[in-house]
Amino acid sequence: MSTIETAAVDRTALLPASLRDDFPILSEQVGDRQPLVFFDNAASTQRPRQVIDAISGVYERTYANVHRGIHTLSELSTEQYERARTKVQQFIGAARFHEIVFTQGTTASINTVARSWGDARLRPGDEVLLSVMEHHSNLVPWQQAAARTGAVLQHVPLTGDGRLDMDAFDRLLTERTKLVAVVAVSNTLGTINPIVEIIAKAHAAGALVLVDAAQSAPHLPIDVQALDVDFLAFSGHKMLGPSGVGVLYGKETLLEAMPPFLGGGSMINEVRLDRFTPAALPAKFEAGTPPIVPAIGLGAAIDYLEDIGLGAIHRHELQLTRHAYAALSQIEGLRLLGPAPEHRTGLVSFAFERIHAHEFAQVLNDQFGVAVRAGHHCTQPLHALLGIAASTRASFYLYNTIEEVDRLVEGVLAVTRMFAPKGRQRKRRKPDE
Amino acid sequence: MPSEEELYQEHILDHYEDPFHRGHLAGATHAHEDKNPLCGDVVRIELALGDDGKINNVYFDGQGCVISQASASMLIEAMHGKTLDDVKRFSAEDMLKLYGPRLTPNRQKCCLLSWKVLQAAVHSPVEPAEKTKT
């Protein structure tokens, strides 16, 4: 690391490394028996013992289907499942319990809005305003909705440093705009978008707003009432919870007016052979057996996060991000994607002129034990705009340390040396080849 | 799990830095291009197939990770001068064996891209207009 100089880290802003002891998986080894450095948190985080115990506790003592029986276990499971809903409600500051719909994840939440609200409300020529930094999960459902309804998609472009171009947003927001669907934090650039401003302007123009909070809910406090957001979607597995559960928040009046999307058990009030009446919220949008244990696990994850505090988590991540950003920006040929650290959450993505992201991910894993993401991170249009096929992303969370960031930087430097041109020559089979 | 040393053996890096027949083949009779959109690897193969079914010449071009590009070079080198039947008999398993180091399923896709492109290329005659252009 002789060539890299970094500014002093504000150690007082860091969380205690002792909380790592809560995460059993962090003592695993990967690659060539390296201690695991887990930097793929934007894809999915790890779970603390408290969440794992909550999950296994349900299976060991209280599990049954919910809302079904009057037997003891069904009542216990129902009570725990609905208590998790209350925790989510408080976590995002929703006014009403039944505005919280449990889904399979952010993707399912957004698809529910696109299929239910979109199909019922969008007319030919109506516009849905997205951004070019959307995850495929907040792009493809709207492409499908546009194909079904004749609505038109518009996309807010980026500034040079990877933030939303709000001048363009102002131009693209018109009386034709029925919905603004935008990501709160970019999963590729880490950019924190000006959601408050977007919601205020969209409402002034008569449009609703859906916020994809998959990358913000784990890192930044949310208050849906203060934001006055119409729909909000996020996933449990990106915030220490299990996979298989997500949340759709919607304002009561909107959810009430929307037709159910998936049909089946639980979402009905009364069924005849030829018709049904839907159940009240939130069951109306929870067809079939819901993600019972994942939702209870998410409740435990929220307890854990609130114990530490999202503000403290964000301050911790900002130190890691600044440290990584300062060090990586000194590596010649390395292009950091996205804005300066103060405009982003805890992740850094980069591309390197000669070396494909796969090489970084492979060697970082095998030689350094560092798990990063290599590829397009489900943002192909954004990568096309940036003129790159793939990027390497290191995303941090509360259990990561400055020393782990140093390990990443050390590994990145090693990769650049390893794949530097060395005048290698292929063995010729014949002299003239 | 294969170690990095095994994965990026010297002869592989040699092919990456000093590839066999990388570029464009004037007078190609067959050509195909494909990509792996998940990681952005692209490989194009152009070849001149003789009336006797022999691959008289073959070139590749593309961009992507070391495995995708080095494996393309190794494949092209191995198939140069071979017959159409040889290409058809050359299985995906043969391709992985030619590459050498054991690959995880994700990285096998990188290695097999050029193999898929070659298998399609021998069935993809170049349009006359395109051919005269070359």
Nearest chain A residue to B6, by CA: A366
A and B: number of Cβ contacts within 8 A = 80
| Confidence bin at A152 (pLDDT 50/70/90) | very high
What's the token pair of residue A176?
Answer: 């034709």
Annotated domain spans of chain A: 11-30+310-418, 51-306
Q: Cα separation of A397 and B29, whole Å?
A: 54
Please state which CATH class domain A51-306 belongs to: alpha beta
Q: What HEC string does A146-170 produce? A: HHHHCCEEEEECECCCCCECHHHHH
Q: Cα separation of B77 and B8, whole Å?
A: 19
DSSP 3-state of B47 = strand
Of B1, B2, B38, which has the smallest distance from its Cβ to A375's Cβ?
Answer: B38
Q: Cα separation of B4 and B16, whole Å?
A: 16
Is the predicted pLDDT of residue A114 greater than 90, yes or no? yes
Q: Which residues of B touch A379 (CB under 8 A)?
A: none
Which residues, 6 or more positions from A214, have their beta carbon under 8 angstroms from its beta carbon?
A: A106, A135, A137, A183, A187, A233, A234, A235, A238
Q: Is A192 a catalytic residue?
A: no
Per-residue pLDDT at B134: 44
Amino acid residing at B55: I
Which residues, 6 or more positions from A428, have their beta carbon under 8 angstroms from its beta carbon?
A: none
Is the predicted pLDDT of residue B112 greater than 90, yes or no? yes
Cα dihedral: A303, A304, A306, A311 (round 10): -160
**Residue A233 contacts residue A102 (beta carbons within 8 Å):** no
**Percent of chain B whose pLDDT exceeds 70:** 91
Is the predicted pLDDT of residue A423 greater than 50, yes or no? yes
DSSP 3-state of A396 = coil
Is the predicted pLDDT of residue B1 greater than 60, yes or no? no
pLDDT: which is higher, A290 or B5: A290
Q: Cα separation of B90 and B113, whole Å?
A: 14
Which residues, 6 or more positions from A124, have their beta carbon under 8 angstroms from its beta carbon?
A: A149, A150, A151
DSSP 3-state of A307 = helix
Single out the catalytic residue among A88, A217, A378, A415.
A378
Answer whether A389 sits within 8 Å of B2, measured CB to CB. Answer: no
Residue A231's beta-bridge partner residues?
A: A210, A250
> How far is CA A327 from its chain centroid?
25
How distant is the Cα of A49 from the closest Cα of chain B, in angstroms? Answer: 27
- State in Å, rounded, how far the first CA of chain B is from the last one: 45
Per-residue pLDDT at A52: 98
Chain B 68-97, CB below 8 Å of chain A: which residues? 73, 77
How much is the average pLDDT of A242-259?
98
Q: To the nearest whole number, what is the mean pLDDT of chain A?
A: 96
Please name which of B86, B85, B71, B83 lies closest in space to residue B117, comparing C-alpha atoms. B71
Per-residue pLDDT at A68: 77
**Residue A20 contacts residue A263 (beta carbons within 8 Å):** no
Q: Which residues of A touch B7 (CB under 8 A)?
A: 362, 366
Q: Cα separation of A218 and A306, whole Å?
A: 11
Per-residue pLDDT at A287: 97
Long-range contacts formed by A56-61: CB under 8 A, 24+ apart: A58/A292, A58/A293, A58/A296, A59/A293
Mutate to test the interface with A, among B3, B4, B6 (most CBs of A within 10 A): B4
Cα dihedral: A233, A239, A244, A249 (round 10): -20
Give the CATH fold of the B4-126 domain. Answer: Sufe protein. Chain: A (3.90.1010)
Q: How many CB atoms lie within 10 A of CB A56?
A: 12
Per-residue pLDDT at B130: 57
Is the predicted pLDDT of residue A203 greater than 90, yes or no? yes
Q: Which residues of A touch B65 (CB under 8 A)?
A: 356-359
Annotated domain spans of chain B: 4-126
Per-residue pLDDT tens for A381-419?
999 999 998 999 999 999 999 999 999 999 999 999 999
Please name which of A404, A90, A395, A372 lies closest in space to residue A219, comparing C-alpha atoms. A395
Task: Tell me if chain B has a CB within 8 Å of the CB of A426.
Answer: yes
How distant is the Cα of A115 from the closest Cα of chain B, in angstroms? Answer: 27
DSSP 3-state of A276 = strand
- Tally of CA atoms within 13 A in the half-sphere of A385 that contains its CB: 20
Is the predicted pLDDT of residue A279 greater than 60, yes or no? yes
Per-residue pLDDT tens for A26-74?
999 998 789 999 999 999 999 999 999 999 999 999 999 998 778 999 9
- Tally of CA atoms within 13 A in the half-sphere of B121 that contains its CB: 29
> Is the whole-model pTM more than 0.90?
yes
Q: Cα separation of A258 and A119, whole Å?
A: 10
Mutate to test the interface with A, among B65, B76, B79 (most CBs of A within 10 A): B65
CATH number of A11-30+310-418: 3.90.1150.10
- Tally of CA atoms within 13 A in the half-sphere of A198 that contains its CB: 28
Please name which of A3, A30, A40 lies closest in space to residue A377, comparing C-alpha atoms. A40
Per-residue pLDDT at A1: 45
